[in-house]
Amino acid sequence: MSYLVLARKWRPNAFANVVGQEHVLKALINGLDQDRLHHAFLFSGTRGVGKTTLARIFAKSLNCEQGVSSTPCGECQSCQEVDAGRFVDLIEVDAASRTKVDDTRELLDNVQYAPSRGRYKVYLIDEVHMLSTSSFNALLKTLEEPPPHVKFLFATTDPQKLPVTILSRCLQFNLRRLDISQISGHLTNILQSEKIGFETDALDTIAKAADGSMRDALSLLDQAISHGSGTVKSTEIHDMLGTVSQQQLYDLIQALISQDGQALMQRSHELSVQGRDFVQVLNDLLALFQRIATLQLVSDLDMAESDDVDMLTTFSQQLSSELTQLFYQIALHGKRDLPYAADPKSGFEMTLLRMMHFQPVIADTSANMPAATPQVQSTPIETTAAKAKKQVKPSPAKSVPSESVIKPAKPTPPPPIEAVAPEPVDVADNSASASLNGENWLSLINSLKLTALARQLADNSAFLRFDNDKVTLSIAPELAHLASKKPQERLEASLTKSIGQPITITFVDSPTDQAGSSTLAAERAEQVVADQERATESIHNDPAVDAIKAAFDARVIESTIKPIK
């Protein structure tokens, strides 16, 4: 196998072979073919996207012995010299190493002389923004009155640093980063021509790692070929780059969705054994959560660059949008906090456990519940994880949408009212229990089946006396209107049935300092206050809530705490 560096061997030698940058190509090709060329071009863009390559083809096009055209012959001496990188009239300058005004002067002094071999001198000044102010001034004079035999190609990664006077005299093009499919497509062509086997995943991974730069992609491919045994394999690329395969990331997300703590820790262990960079793993997870969230919003999103849309679509249906957002936030904070963890692995696992802790309640698959949603459990994390193993039973989803508004799912349930009072009286039970007293009054009326008005009356009445068949009740003066005839008759009938003997009721205004007797309404009001206090306390003592507060710098909005019935 030949080890000629691929980037050199496969450098495009004609505009037709250049990958991407169609907008720039079009301008250059049209200019060349119509012989109307600007004298200065500015290419802005990141490294390795083809600036030098374009400059060389451009120089060839201008100097080909067959004539100026966008399709130089590639055969003549000029073309071959350009291809070999030794054409005297293509002058490549790295401004980063030539910032002094004298250097620029020397360079520009030569501009006026005619080209020694070709028709045009082509100056490629890379990192042109690095020139000093006086160098720019010297350059500006040349640009104002350019000799007809000179073309300038400026390249920069930072066009903002160029003086406006220079910018205004250039035709500007932004060279785009190459996208993953452009890069992997090019790598595919190369490997097929070189008759080297490969896995498509592997090329995608290289393309992703190259971050828009074809040169970087080719040099990674070179490394991969020399690493591998004649085939470019995905696992070898991941080993080489220290990156994580998509499948490993999917496995992590799947374990989170199925609440499989054991699988989650197993995956983390594998990543650690493989020596993966956990910051990178979190970055990859962030990217996936972002795409899942996008799919949840726009389900038919065109994700041309990915062949994993099916998997992500499945996740986007299994996860609620709230949980996806939460996972994203947790991953983001996990990444931020990773340097503070005892070691990267434990920091990473804590991040996973935090996600796990906000376990989705598994939606009942038979119902039309589209997604699992987070639920803050006031149970410690161990319990949650243990529960996860044996699959939590389906329960209606309660969402906790944001980090600051937290509702307790399960505060310690308040003792039911019946429990404080003696045995509830069964309405149907007519076995005479003649005793009616302040002790059992509340539970008795609570058990009665009453119409709405009679219920109002009963709930707001306090027991005073039971004496022969007469019950004396008190009612607050402002509620005395409740004791009208019909509701009173209903209440009497219901009590009669319940006690098993005829009952008549007498109402009196409630004494101002009523001691020892209460109304069901008052009891309930107290209960509401007590429930609220208990819920508030449970939220403030919940380690999960503490964890959220610490992780997100969140606070609990008291008014949003609600007891769960």
Which CB, 72 or 261, lies closer to Zn ion? 72
Alpha helices per DSSP H over 298-440: 309-318, 321-337, 344-357, 381-389, 417-420
CA distance 533 to 562: 10
- Containing 475, the helix (H) or strand (E) segment is strand 470-475
Site string for Zn ion, 310-349 (x = CB under 5 A): ----------------------------------------
Site string for Zn ion, 17-56 (x = CB under 5 A): ----------------------------------------
Site string for Zn ion, 69-88 (x = CB under 5 A): ---xx--x--x---------
Which CB, 64 or 139, lies closer to Zn ion? 64
Place of tokens 């006086």: 134
Query: Residue 467: beta bridge partners?
Result: 470
CB of 63 to Zn ion, least distance (A): 8
CB of 82 to Zn ion, least distance (A): 9
CA distance 105 to 93: 13
Which CB, 79 or 409, lies closer to Zn ion? 79
CB of 70 to Zn ion, least distance (A): 12
CA distance 562 to 532: 7
Q: Tell me if 464 sits within 8 A of 472, measured CB to CB.
A: yes
Q: Interface with Zn ion includes 64 (CB under 5 A)?
A: yes
Task: State residue 471 phi and psi, 5-degree precision.
Answer: -105, 130
CA distance 463 to 469: 14
Q: Tell me if 60 sits within 8 A of 68, measured CB to CB.
A: no
- Using alpha carbons, list the distances in angstroms from residue 450 to 171, 178, 364, 443, 485: 88, 76, 37, 14, 15
β strands within 60-131, DSSP E: 90-94, 121-126
Q: Interface with Zn ion includes 257 (CB under 5 A)?
A: no
Q: Tell me if 49 sits within 8 A of 214, measured CB to CB.
A: yes
Please work out the total of residues on this chain that contact Zn ion, with binding judged by CB under 5 A.
5
Which CB, 79 or 326, lies closer to Zn ion? 79
Site for Zn ion in 153-182 (CB under 5 A): none
Which CB, 61 or 384, lies closer to Zn ion? 61
Site for Zn ion in 418-447 (CB under 5 A): none
CB of 29 to Zn ion, least distance (A): 16
Selected range binding Zn ion among 68-76, 106-114, 334-342, 348-356, rule: CB under 5 A = 68-76
Q: Interface with Zn ion includes 59 (CB under 5 A)?
A: no
CA distance 445 to 448: 5
Selected range binding Zn ion among 58-66, 233-241, 246-254, 462-470, rule: CB under 5 A = 58-66
Which CB, 73 or 453, lies closer to Zn ion? 73
Place of tokens 């919940």: 542
CB of 281 to Zn ion, least distance (A): 51
- Applying CB under 5 A, the residues found at the interface with Zn ion are 64, 72-73, 76, 79
